[in-house]
Amino acid sequence: MAATFEQLIDPFGRHIEDLRISVTDRCNFRCTYCMPEEGMQWLKRSDVMSFEEIERLARIFVERYGVKGIRLTGGEPTVRAHLPVLVSKLSKLVGPDGPVNLAMTTNGATMRLVADSLKQAGLKRVNISLDTLDRTKFHQMTRRDELNNVLDGIRAAQEVGFDPVKINAVIERGTNDDELIDLATFGREQNVEVRFIEFMPLDAEGHWMNGKVVGQEEIVEKINAVYPVEVLPARGAAPADRFRFLDGGLHGEGSPGSMIGVIPTITKPFCGDCDRVRLTAEGDFRTCLFATKEFDLLTALRSGESDDQIADRIEAAVATKWAGHQINQVNFTRPSKSMSQLGG
Ligand code: SAM
Ligand code: SF4
C-alpha cells in the first residue's frame, strides 16, 4: 500500500515544506553581524541533538509531512565531527516526491577538506558565505584571515559537483556596500549565483540598525547600472528574488553565473510565501527566525515520546506560526538568540 502523507499547514494556509536543521551552535568564524568576538556560551555537548535524534525528527518531517528540503546549518555545520555520517542518514529519507533535497549553508573555510565526502554521502547543494573579496575586510568582518581558503572552498564545491553552489553575501552599509559590483563580477566570472542578503537584526552584539540595511532596490539599481538585469518570474516559497543579466552572463543563458538573487527580508518581507521551519542544535523547534517562542522537541524525544506524540507537538507549534515578522513595526521584539544560535 502506498504511504499516506499529511500536510503541515499553518493557520495562514502555508504548506511547510522546508526544514533548516542547526547541527551545532559552534563556529570557527566570528562574523561581526552574527557572533561576538568572545564570550559566546556554547551548548553542552550532551544538550546537542545526536545524529540519531536529528534523523528521527527529520524522518517525521519528511516521511509524515512530506517536507521536501532539508538544509543543514549552524553555527558552522562543518565543525561538527563526522558530518558525512549525518548526511548519509538524512539523504536516505524519502518523501512523496522522492528523496529529500539535502542542502547545507557553510562559511566554506574547510570546504576543500570535506567537499568530496559530503558529496559522496548524498549532499546535493551548498550555499557558501562570502561577503567581501578584500582580504583585510574579510578579516575584519569574520575576524578570521580565511579569504583564500573560502575562495578555494568555493572551487572545491564546484569541482565535486554540488549543484547549485550559491554564494551568500550579507550587505552592511559602510562595511561592504562598496563591493556590490565586485561580488556580481565574481559570480559572473566564477559561474555561481550570488545572493545578496539584507542585514537582519540577529547579530549577537546588537549593533544592527535600520540605517545599516542596504535594501533590495538599491542593490539591484547599483548592479543594473553596470550589468543590466531584469527580474525573473515569481519565486514561489524561495526567499530570494532573482534577476538575470540581460547579456546572459559569461557562461551562457541559464547558467548559475547569469543570475543574482536578493533576499529582501527587511525592505520587502516574503513571509506570505514562507514554507520554512527550524530546529536549533539543542532540538528546539521554531516556526520563524524572529519567533520569540520555541518548542522543545528534544526533551520530548528523550523522555520516550512516540512519533505520534512528537508529531502532535509539531502540529501545535505550526499552529502558532505568525503571519510575518514585525521588524518594521514599533512592537518588534528581537529574539533573545542570535543568528548562529537559531540556525540561519
Ligand atoms: N556558518 C554558516 C555560514 O556562515 O554560512 C551557516 C550559518 S550562518 C548563521 C547562515 C547564514 O546567515 C549565512 O549566510 C550568514 O551570512 C547569514 N547571517 C548571519 N547573520 C546574519 C544577519 N545578522 N543578517 C543577515 N544574514 C545573516
Ligand atoms: Fe559563523 Fe556563519 Fe555566524 Fe559567521 S555567519 S559567525 S560563519 S555561524
> Does ligand 1 lie within 6 Å of residue 340's CB atom?
yes
Closest CA to 195 of 264, 148, 251: 264
Q: Please name the amino acid found at residue 3.
A: A
3-state SS assignment for residue 140: helix
41 alpha carbon, distance to own chain's centre: 22
Distance in Å, CA 341 to ligand 2 centroid? 10
**Ligand 2 atom at minimum distance from 170 CA:** 5
25, 34, 194, 338: residue to mutate for ligand 1 pocket, most atoms within 8 A of CB:
34
- Quote the cell numbers at residue 82: 563526522
Torsional class of 315: left (φ above 0), alpha (ψ -120 to 50), beta (otherwise): alpha
| Cell 542547526 found at | 22
Contact 257, 191 (CB under 8 A): yes
335 alpha carbon, distance to own chain's centre: 17
Contact 275, 17 (CB under 8 A): yes
What is 15-342's CATH superfamily?
Answer: Aldolase class I (3.20.20.70)
Closest CA to 191 of 229, 134, 243, 248: 248
Burial label for 269, CB within 10 Å (0-12, 13-18, 19+), is: middle
> Does ligand 1 lie within 6 Å of residue 200's CB atom?
yes
> Does ligand 1 lie within 6 Å of residue 344's CB atom?
yes
Q: What is the pLDDT of residue 109?
A: 98
Q: What is the pLDDT of residue 72?
A: 98
Distance in Å, CA 302 to ligand 2 centroid? 29
Q: What is the pLDDT of residue 328?
A: 66
Q: What is the mean pLDDT of each run of 10 residues along the chain (344 residues)?
A: 72 93 97 92 96 98 96 97 98 95 98 98 98 98 98 98 97 97 98 96 85 96 98 80 97 96 88 89 92 93 97 95 72 72 74
Q: What is the pLDDT of residue 2?
A: 44
282 alpha carbon, distance to own chain's centre: 17
Contact 134, 127 (CB under 8 A): no
Q: How far apart are CA 24 and CA 104, in angstroms?
A: 13
3-state SS assignment for residue 97: coil
Q: What b/e readout covers 131-170, taking b as 16+ CB neighbours within 10 angstroms?
A: bbbeeebbeebbbbebbebbbebbebbbebebebbbbbbb
3-state SS assignment for residue 126: strand
Distance in Å, CA 107 to ligand 2 centroid? 7
Residues sharing a CB contact under 8 Å with residue 218, sequence separation 6 or more, in sequence order: none
> Does ligand 1 lie within 6 Å of residue 150's CB atom?
no
- By DSSP bridging, strand 295-296 and strand 284-286 are antiparallel
- Quote the cell numbers at residue 184: 556580481
Q: What is the pLDDT of residue 3?
A: 56
| Cell 561580488 found at | 183
Distance in Å, CA 233 to ligand 2 centroid? 31
Q: How far apart are CA 102 and CA 223, in angstroms?
A: 31
Q: How far apart are CA 145 and CA 36, in angstroms?
A: 17
Closest CA to 137 of 105, 182, 167, 106: 182
250 alpha carbon, distance to own chain's centre: 27
Closest CA to 70 of 107, 133, 9, 19: 19
- The CA-based diameter of the chain, rounded to the nearest angstrom, is 60
Contact 131, 107 (CB under 8 A): no
> Does ligand 1 lie within 6 Å of residue 69's CB atom?
no
Q: What is the pLDDT of residue 1?
A: 38
23, 28, 105, 107: residue to mutate for ligand 2 pocket, most atoms within 8 A of CB:
107
Q: What is the pLDDT of residue 323?
A: 73
Burial label for 258, CB within 10 Å (0-12, 13-18, 19+), is: buried
What letter would DSSP give residue 323? S
